[in-house]
Chain A
Amino acid sequence: MSTGTTKLDVVVSDVVPVNDLVTRFHFRRRDGELLPTFSGGAHVVVEMRDGDRTRLNPYSLMGSPLDTREYTVSIRRDDVGRGGSLFMHRQVKPGLEMVISYPVNLFSLDLRAKKHLMLAGGIGITPFMAQTSQLAGAGGNFELHYTCRTASLGTYADVLRERYGNRIRLYHDDREERIELDRLLSSQPLGTHLYVCGPAGMINWVRDRAAALGWPSETVHFEHFAAPQPGAPFDVTLAVSGKTIRVGEQQSLLEAIEAAGVDPPYLCRGGVCGQCETNVISHDGKFIHNDHWLSEEDHRSGCKIMPCVSRFEGKSLVLER
């Protein structure tokens, strides 16, 4: 069975448009009980039953961890993605019964920190909504720097400013406002931990500068769910279960394995947690690795693949599944 993927039967209790791109979804338990406790930074995997197709997408919980009557997620519409966010925006209405996973936290606060420095880009703000609520409730020391394209797309910027005042700094791309990253990183008191969530380019930039400026890797936390990329269909042999399957253009390898009735472990479905790591028995072709889990060495070796986000192009691929 998939680790940590015990399911919760929920009903959509509200759907709230936040701005042109982002909509917020509220879930309550169908039996009226409280939802499981979670900590800031946790995500749930939402099952989307769309005709004969099932998508499983991870979304950060953005409500306060102090209130488990409902879970809330905010989803940015991606018009060119694989359709998960469009399904949520178009098909999901209040009253719809859905299934979500128990919360899992791969981006938790290190509560030993003397101070928490948070950097958000775009929809990467969502885990910080929960983390700031958690810290504020406990008198925690934090500062959030939030980059958004325009003020109108600064999802929850107004809410955060109202709640936390000048602990929130906003940067608008259209006004050419940029984080002075080196100065920011160099002026933090000893014992600060850094958290970054946003586009891959921003995460890489922040991690590189932090490392160069002497931030130990233990103090730098990041989360980037890589959405599975579409690509050319390819065939895979699952050696353990004795099946040969085809991975469709819009399907991830993990989804194709699951569709064949094989149930590999997973948690994040976004290339970060490592649960679905799969050994390659043989291959003739080229891997398209999209994960943040395997080392560069693993990627080069051709011995491992993360089926949640990575693909393959070539003649044959045999996996130990």
Chain B
Amino acid sequence: MAAKTIISRPIYGTLSPQPGKHHLFIADAEGALAITDMAGKAPPGFFDGAEIVFIPGPEGKHIAALEALKPAQLHLPPSFASLLPRLRQTLTNAHMGLRLYLAGTEGLIGQAMQAALEAGIDHTSMQTEHRGSLARRMQCVHCKGITENVTTQPALCAHCGLLLLVRDHYSRRLAAFQGVCINAEDRSEIPPMEEAFP
């Protein structure tokens, strides 16, 4: 897990069962393991009122482990974009007493949190646990384009092609780290690109 460098750099915790009437889990990839680990600490019947939304990824791992928890509902959408309309609908119709648990990659946690913030849940009220890749969602501060799954430092903006320094400066509103041109003074200066967010 990444160390806290500046105040906006998100820090993730460990999922723990909260009091509530309805428990909504959103996870991808290894995030499933955060849910199964938490299940060991949950009171009996906890998953009777739980809804798990899990993006399994290409290998389809961990699905059986989540089914074994016998949640009230289990959805397996193919991507975050495909689950977003349904998530927004759920949050719009939800009542106080819904608790949100986000687990998996930073991109997934950040984007689910973005939708939840819009629905009026304070970010400190959400349970989060980072598992898996450190790949970042990055916003180019110059063209405002978002580049997904950035693993290098510096990184190329997929939209305008500028070479960007991927900062720890994070925007919850955009669910993205900020990327700033690394060679604005002299574009011929090309620093080596290293694998920084595996």
Contacts and interface: CB of A to CB of B under 8 A. Distances in A.
Interface stretch (A13-21, A48-56, A182-190, A295-303): A182-190
A185 B92 CA distance: 17
A190 B91 contact: yes
A292 B92 CA distance: 35
A114 B120 contact: yes
Contacts of A186: 21, 95-97
Interface stretch (B54-62, B121-129, B189-197): B121-129
Given A114-B120, A190-B120, A211-B19, A216 B95 contact: no
Contacts of A185: 96-97
Nearest to B122: A218
Interface residues of B, number: 19
B19 A212 contact: yes
A213 B19 CA distance: 6
Interface in A156-215: 185-192, 211-215
Nearest to B91: A190
B94 interface: yes
Contacts, number: 60
A186 B20 CA distance: 10
Contacts of A214: 18-22, 96-99
Contacts of A250: none
Nearest to A212: B19
A70 B72 CA distance: 56
Interface string A213-254: 111101100000000000000000000000000000000000
Contacts of B97: 185-186, 213-215
Size category of the binding interface on chain A: 10 to 19
B119 interface: yes
A191 B124 CA distance: 13
B145 to A, nearest CB: 28
B92 to A, nearest CB: 8
Contacts of A211: 19
Contacts of A212: 19
A210 B92 CA distance: 20
Q: Which of B20, B21, B98, B120 has the most CB of A within 10 A?
A: B120
Contacts of A191: 119-121
Nearest to A215: B96
11 contacts: A112-B120, A112-B122, A186-B21, A190-B95, A190-B98, A191-B120, A214-B21, A215-B96, A216-B121, A216-B125, A219-B96
Interface of B: 18-22, 91-92, 94-99, 119-122, 124-125
